[in-house]
């Protein structure tokens, strides 16, 4: 049996048992596994990792671990410039779009409320989520660590929080999206973009009091849902303003 010395940094410790957090620990292994396999065997999805050092030198996921190697594993760097070092993750996506697993339906609605493209269906199984993420170059948001360990997934994030409002703030912070919030531009139901529409075009679908008191409407060209600035709008507006200070 061989052993190496492992150290995980910052939020990667969320995936480790208490005794292995924020410390260097011995890890025993057989054969000559790749550093990716070793990291994921400890419960850390590869999509969370941005830099790996083996004995002080940067390596990629295919690096083979030797006996007595010292392995340091770092998460995605938000501000530190490590452009001269070998990063193990693909370049960030130019356009931020999400696909969410079955446990994150409320978060999907909140992201849409903020104007972000958030694809969700409770009929998406794991295979479909991975396929959509890869084919459409969407960031996979999930509460399932195993899903992020799939080799096909290149852009994914494990959502730590359990309350939907906290999940929203977490995702906005992680991807630095507070400045990109565009409220009320996307359908909460089907995720399509909304477009201003004349009252005459949707009048037949409006309740009598709405027709009487409101003049401006948004129409979803996808599912046909009509939006106006009623009490629901004021509640959502208040929610959004409470989220913004989360910066």
- The closest alpha carbon to 45, from 197, 189, 151, 161, belongs to 151
Q: Is residue 201 packed enough to be buried (19+ CB in 10 Å), middle (13-18) or exposed (0-12)? A: exposed
- The 8-class DSSP code of residue 63 comes to P
Q: Residue 140 in 3-state DSSP?
A: strand
Between strands 25-29 and 98-100, the pairing is unpaired
CA–CA dist 142, 123 (Å, integer): 15
Decide if 45 contacts 73 (C-beta within 8 A): no
pLDDT along the chain (247 residues), means of 10: 95 95 96 96 94 93 96 73 59 80 97 97 96 95 95 93 96 90 95 94 86 89 90 86 70
What is the separation of C-alpha 197 from the centre of its chain, rounded to a whole number of angstroms? 32
- The closest alpha carbon to 150, from 74, 36, 28, 50, belongs to 36
pLDDT attached to residue 179: 87
pLDDT attached to residue 207: 86
- Cα separations in angstroms, 25 against 3, 7, 67, 113: 10, 7, 14, 44
pLDDT attached to residue 86: 64
pLDDT attached to residue 84: 53
pLDDT digits over 165-188, tens only? Answer: 999 999 999 988 998 899 999 999
pLDDT attached to residue 82: 47
C-alpha dihedral sign at 163, 166, 172, 175: negative
Decide if 143 contacts 123 (C-beta within 8 A): no
CA–CA dist 190, 55 (Å, integer): 49
CA–CA dist 86, 231 (Å, integer): 52
* 3 state SS for 74-107: EECCCCCCCCCCCCCCCCCCCCCCEEECHHHHHH
Q: Residue 202 in 3-state DSSP?
A: helix
CA–CA dist 238, 223 (Å, integer): 26
Lookup: tokens for 72: 């340091």
């Amino acid at each position: 049996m061989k052993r190496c010395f492992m150290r995980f940094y910052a939020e990667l410790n969320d995936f480790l048992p208490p005794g292995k957090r924020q410390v260097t620990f011995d890890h025993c292994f057989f054969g000559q596994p790749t550093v990716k396999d070793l990291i994921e065997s400890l419960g850390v999805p590869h999509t969370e990792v941005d830099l790996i050092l083996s004995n002080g030198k940067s390596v990629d996921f295919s690096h083979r671990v030797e006996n007595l190697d010292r392995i340091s594993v770092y998460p995605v760097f938000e501000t530190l410039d490590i452009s001269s070092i070998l990063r193990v993750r693909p370049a960030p996506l130019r356009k931020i779009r999400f696909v969410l697993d079955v446990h994150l339906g409320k978060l999907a609605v909140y992201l849409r409320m903020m104007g972000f493209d958030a694809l969700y269906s409770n009929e998406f199984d794991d295979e479909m989520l991975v396929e959509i993420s890869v084919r459409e170059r969407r960031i996979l948001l999930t509460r399932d660590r195993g899903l992020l360990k799939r080799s096909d997934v290149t852009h994914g994030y494990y959502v730590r929080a359990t309350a939907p409002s906290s999940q929203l703030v977490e995702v906005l912070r992680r991807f630095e999206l507070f400045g990109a919030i565009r409220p009320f531009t996307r359908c909460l139901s089907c995720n399509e973009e909304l477009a201003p529409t004349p009252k005459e075009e949707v009048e037949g679908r409006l309740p009598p009091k709405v027709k009487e008191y409101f003049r401006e409407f948004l129409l979803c060209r996808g599912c046909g849902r009509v939006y106006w600035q009623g009490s629901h709008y004021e509640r959502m507006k208040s929610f959004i303003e409470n989220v913004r200070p989360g910066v």
